[in-house]
A and B are shown apart, each in its own frame.
Chain A
Amino acid sequence: MLKQVEGSHAVAEAVALCRPEVICAYPISPQTHIVEALGERVKSGTLADCEFINVESEFAAMSVAIGASAAGARAYTATASQGLLFMAEAVFNASGLGLPIVMTVANRAIGAPINIWNDHTDAMSQRDCGWIQLFAENNQEALDLHFQAFRLGEELSLPVMVCMDGFILTHAYERVDVPTQQQVDAYLPRYEPRQVLDPAEPVSIGAMVGPEAFMEVRYLAHAKQMQALELIPAYAEEFRRVFGRDTGGLMHSYRTEDADTVVVALGSVLGTVKDTVDEMREAGARIGVVGITCFRPWPLAAVQAALAGARRVVVLEKSLAVGIGGIVSTNVRTALAARAVPVYTVIAGLGGRAITRDSLRRAFGQAMEDRLEPLSFLDLDHALVERALARERQVRRSGPLAESILRDLGVVAARAG
């Protein structure tokens, strides 16, 4: 059924259609509307046979999800930003134990400085934690990825993170096609756990493993993620057959057939990138896009094939690995290891900075003339940065950086006294 709804509410509806049995969550912007809406559904009884557990922190949220999942329940939670960091220890435990929890991450920047707006730093900080990570391009895909996430996670006995851009998607009203309960039931079978805490057949979950077998357990975690590389396209194809939509999968190519220049990105910025590419195509540029849906496991062979014809690659990413530059681009380079193809890393949209067609066109144009720096920052205010650096050279006690920069911009009042 077509609906015009807020992204968060659409995702809540999708999660409810997946018949979760335990939902535990702690509120944090921009994720809060999702679990609020689910809480209302549990309270009103429209989401039956589900326990909604208010917890005292994100660490508790993931810990409860682990307990619920180990007891054989379909468990769901959602978080963002500092909340994801706060639960990090338990996030590793969930994957290490092989518990198929599904978690929505409403992507948001990480402080300090505190910032509630969107970028991908939170999800990227957990990229090697053993969870499958899927990124939604729009709210329809955010919905659809949740159905696919439960299916995939439970088949493999691995947890899945569905990442959707905070505010840009979670707070956007747009059209979504919400499937019926019958459709979802037909696609998503009941959860049959590989391991379960059952008093009738007692087991313990969470053994201490020493040097004799730790490597093997970790190797199997990797092997399972590699299995996901085959299951994800298969489930996306089955999804397409049932629901008629080509969402999910490992990645999607757009106008790459004869493209010399290929832009790689993930998340909601892909829409703006595609519109920019359409405009540049009209002006004769041979440029295309590869949108990564599955970031973990890294779809090496698929990306390799998608970039086979590219003479240069621009990786547009909403996260910064301080001290090296790009995270996605480091991954993309593994797909180009055998070829001398320039990879331009463009860091964009940090902390909610708008990513505009005008700026993208400029950056892509520079890349096509091979005039772009290997690492660049879209719309960086160089004068502001220079001023801060000059101050540090001139004065020993240059003061707190963020406050000084805001003062330079005139955003905060002059220093008291």
Chain B
Amino acid sequence: MFQIRIHGRGGQGVVTAAEMLSLAAFREGRHAQAFPSFGSERTGAPVVAYCRIDEREIRLREPVLRPDALVIQDPTLLHQVDVFSGLVPDGYVLINTTRSFDALGVGEFLKGFRAEHLCTVPATDLALKHIGRPVPNAALLGGFAALSGRISLESVQAAIRDKFSGKVASGNVAAAAEAYEHVKRESHAEAG
């Protein structure tokens, strides 16, 4: 079972991101479960959502306590919420930011993890460019597909089209594609 935890703030589409990830996994024939942390549903308040992906039926209902991957939609949470709690040693981390891990103050901590599993992507900028709104969730899913290889970009884009229609769908699909390319480039640079 592969478990993803998404951290963000109310209004950033955190819950929708987990739902879209489950839709993408379902499209690939896998079992998937997405659910929110059911906290206070206020704009700006910290929000957590979870997604589990497996080849067989998922029965577990506890929150994701030992994530295989973290998607952090808002870097201001890094020093407010224990976002890294329980992250497995070879886990993936994707942060929505234009800054470096060092500039965010997590460079030292992340040294203990596998460099090729860590990446940043300017998802809010990409969302503004393609959708005109600072909602980074779909772009981050594109980035997650590139970083983890656990899901294809095509499945993510199909899931976006399941959830949205018209311009919102096409904008998010484009944002996801650009984030995917960005992370591929960054990872390649890291590997090189």
Partner of B19, one of A6, A168, A270: A6
Interface code B163-174, partner A: CB below 8 Å = 1, 0 otherwise?
Answer: 000000000000
Collect the chain B residues with CB atoms within 8 Å of residue A334's CB.
none
Tell me the complex Cα distance, A4–B63, Å: 20
Collect the chain B residues with CB atoms within 8 Å of residue A116's CB.
38
Collect the chain A residues with CB atoms within 8 Å of residue B35's CB.
167-168, 171-173
The reply on A46 being an interface residue by CB < 8 A is no
Collect the chain B residues with CB atoms within 8 Å of residue A173's CB.
18-19, 22-23, 32-35
The reply on B36 being an interface residue by CB < 8 A is yes
**What's the dominant secondary structure at chain B's contact region?**
mixed
- Interface contact A4-B61, CB-CB below 8 Å: no
Collect the chain B residues with CB atoms within 8 Å of residue A4's CB.
22-23, 26, 32
From known contacts A174-B33, A352-B38, infer whether A274 and B59 are also in contact, taking CB-CB under 8 Å: yes
Partner of B32, one of A174, A269, A272: A174
Collect the chain B residues with CB atoms within 8 Å of residue A269's CB.
61
Collect the chain A residues with CB atoms within 8 Å of residue B61's CB.
168, 268-269, 271-272, 355
Give the residue among A2, A138, A174, A355 with the most B Cβ atoms within 10 A: A174
Tell me the complex Cα distance, A2–B33, Å: 14
The reply on B58 being an interface residue by CB < 8 A is yes
From known contacts A4-B23, A167-B38, A173-B23, infer whether A356 and B32 are also in contact, taking CB-CB under 8 Å: no
The reply on A175 being an interface residue by CB < 8 A is yes
A272 to chain B, nearest CB (A): 5
Tell me the complex Cα distance, A172–B59, Å: 12
The reply on A341 being an interface residue by CB < 8 A is no
The reply on B45 being an interface residue by CB < 8 A is no
- Interface contact B22-A356, CB-CB below 8 Å: no
Collect the chain A residues with CB atoms within 8 Å of residue B19's CB.
6, 173
- Interface contact B60-A175, CB-CB below 8 Å: no
The reply on B106 being an interface residue by CB < 8 A is no
- Interface contact A175-B59, CB-CB below 8 Å: no
Collect the chain A residues with CB atoms within 8 Å of residue B18's CB.
173
Tell me the complex Cα distance, A353–B17, Å: 24
- Interface contact B62-A354, CB-CB below 8 Å: yes
Collect the chain B residues with CB atoms within 8 Å of residue A6's CB.
19
A141 to chain B, nearest CB (A): 12
B158 to chain A, nearest CB (A): 11
Which chain A residue has the least Cβ–Cβ distance from B65?
A: A356
A291 to chain B, nearest CB (A): 11
Which chain A residue has the least Cβ–Cβ distance from B50?
A: A172
Tell me the complex Cα distance, A174–B59, Å: 10
The reply on A40 being an interface residue by CB < 8 A is no
The reply on A135 being an interface residue by CB < 8 A is no
Partner of A171, one of B22, B38, B59, B65: B38
Tell me the complex Cα distance, A270–B59, Å: 8
The reply on B31 being an interface residue by CB < 8 A is yes
Tell me the complex Cα distance, A145–B47, Å: 32
- Interface contact B59-A271, CB-CB below 8 Å: yes
A372 to chain B, nearest CB (A): 20
Interface code A103-117, partner B: CB below 8 Å = 1, 0 otherwise?
Answer: 000000000000011
- 9 example contacts (A-B, Cβ-Cβ < 8 A) are as follows A6-B19, A138-B59, A167-B35, A171-B38, A174-B22, A271-B58, A271-B61, A356-B62, A356-B63
- Known A-B contacts: A4-B32, A167-B36, A356-B65. Give 10 more (CB < 8 A): A4-B22, A138-B59, A171-B35, A172-B35, A174-B58, A175-B26, A272-B59, A272-B61, A356-B63, A358-B65
The 9 closest A-B pairs by CB, nearest first: A271-B59, A4-B26, A173-B34, A172-B35, A356-B62, A173-B22, A167-B38, A174-B33, A173-B19
Using CB atoms and an 8 Å cutoff, list the residues of chain A in contact with chain B: 2, 4, 6, 116-117, 138, 167-168, 171-175, 268-272, 274-275, 352, 354-358
